[in-house]
Chains A and B, each alone.
Chain A
Amino acid sequence: MSFYAETWRGNVSLYRYRDRAVAHDVLARLKAMDLHLRLMHVCGTHQDTLSRHGLDVLLDACGVQVRQGPGCPVCVTTAKEFEEAAVLAEAGKTVLTFGDVARVPGRRGSLLNLRGEGHDVRVVYSVNDAVALARRETKDMVFMAAGFETTAPTTAAVALTGLPANFTVLSCHRYLPPALNALLAMGATQVDGIIEPGHVSAIIGLKPYEGLSAQYGIPQVVAGFEPLDLLMAVYMLAQQIQRGDATVENEYTRVVRYEGNLRALDAMRRVFVPSDVEWRGFPVIPHSGMAMKPPFEAWDARKVWADDLQRVDDLVEETPGCQCGAVLRGVIEAPNCPLFGTTCTPIHPAGPCMVSVEGSCHIAYKYPQGRALRAT
Chain B
Amino acid sequence: MCLAIPGKIVSLEGERGVADFMGVEREVVLTFVPQAKRGDYVLVHAGFAIEVLDRAEAEKTLAVWRELLRRDVAG
Contact of B6 among A11, A22, A44, A127 (CB under 8 A): A11
A113 close to B (CB within 8 Å): no
Q: Flag A73-112 by CB within 8 Å of B: 1 or 0 each.
A: 1100000000000000000000000101000000000000
Q: Flag B21-49 by CB within 8 Å of A: 1 or 0 each.
A: 01100000101111000000101011110
Asked whether, in the complex, the Cβ of A157 is within 8 Å of the Cβ of B59, the reply is: no
B11 close to A (CB within 8 Å): no
For chain A, the count of residues having a C-beta within 8 Å of the partner chain is: 55
Q: In the complex, what distance in Å separates the CA atom of A228 from the CA atom of B39?
A: 25
B53 close to A (CB within 8 Å): yes
30 pairs, CB–CB < 8 Å, chain A vs chain B: A3-B23, A4-B23, A7-B8, A7-B20, A7-B23, A11-B53, A12-B59, A13-B53, A16-B58, A16-B62, A22-B65, A25-B73, A26-B65, A29-B69, A43-B2, A45-B2, A125-B46, A126-B29, A126-B48, A148-B2, A150-B1, A154-B48, A157-B48, A199-B3, A199-B43, A202-B51, A228-B65, A253-B57, A254-B55, A254-B58
Asked whether, in the complex, the Cβ of B2 is within 8 Å of the Cβ of A8, the reply is: no
B1: A residues at CB distance < 8 A:
44, 72-74, 98, 100, 146-148, 150-151, 356, 358
Chain A contact surface mostly: helix
| Chain B interface residues toward A at CB < 8 A | 1-4, 6, 8, 20, 22-23, 29, 31-34, 41, 43, 45-48, 50-51, 53-55, 57-62, 65-66, 69, 72-73
Q: Nearest chain A CB to B75's CB is how many angstroms away?
A: 11
A7: B residues at CB distance < 8 A:
8, 20, 22-23
Of all chain B residues, which has the CB nearest A260? Answer: B51
Q: In the complex, what distance in Å separates the CA atom of A210 from the CA atom of B28?
A: 32
Q: In the complex, what distance in Å separates the CA atom of A153 from the CA atom of B73?
A: 43
Asked whether, in the complex, the Cβ of A150 is within 8 Å of the Cβ of B47, the reply is: no
Q: In the complex, what distance in Å separates the CA atom of A261 from the CA atom of B61?
A: 20
Q: Nearest chain B CB to A73's CB is how many angstroms away?
A: 5
Q: In the complex, what distance in Å separates the CA atom of A154 from the CA atom of B29?
A: 9
Q: Nearest chain B CB to A32's CB is how many angstroms away?
A: 9
Q: In the complex, what distance in Å separates the CA atom of A254 from the CA atom of B45?
A: 16
Q: In the complex, what distance in Å separates the CA atom of A199 from the CA atom of B6?
A: 12
Q: In the complex, what distance in Å separates the CA atom of A150 from the CA atom of B2?
A: 6
> A25-B69, A264-B50 are contacts. A151–B58 as well, Cβ < 8 Å?
no
| Chain A interface residues toward B at CB < 8 A | 3-4, 7-8, 10-14, 16-17, 19, 22, 25-26, 29, 43-45, 72-74, 98, 100, 125-129, 146-148, 150-151, 153-154, 157, 197, 199-200, 202-203, 228, 232, 251, 253-256, 261, 263-264, 267, 356, 358
Q: Nearest chain A CB to B44's CB is how many angstroms away?
A: 10
A12: B residues at CB distance < 8 A:
53, 55, 58-59
Q: In the complex, what distance in Å separates the CA atom of A44 from the CA atom of B2?
A: 8
A358: B residues at CB distance < 8 A:
1-3
Q: In the complex, what distance in Å separates the CA atom of A97 from the CA atom of B56?
A: 37
A228: B residues at CB distance < 8 A:
65
Q: Nearest chain A CB to B67's CB is how many angstroms away?
A: 11
Asked whether, in the complex, the Cβ of A263 is within 8 Å of the Cβ of B34, the reply is: yes
Asked whether, in the complex, the Cβ of B50 is within 8 Å of the Cβ of A203, the reply is: yes
Of all chain A residues, which has the CB nearest B22? Answer: A7
Q: In the complex, what distance in Å separates the CA atom of A270 from the CA atom of B23?
A: 36
User: Besides A267-B31, A358-B3, 10 other CB < 8 A contacts?
Assistant: A13-B53, A17-B62, A22-B66, A43-B2, A100-B1, A125-B47, A153-B32, A157-B29, A202-B43, A261-B32
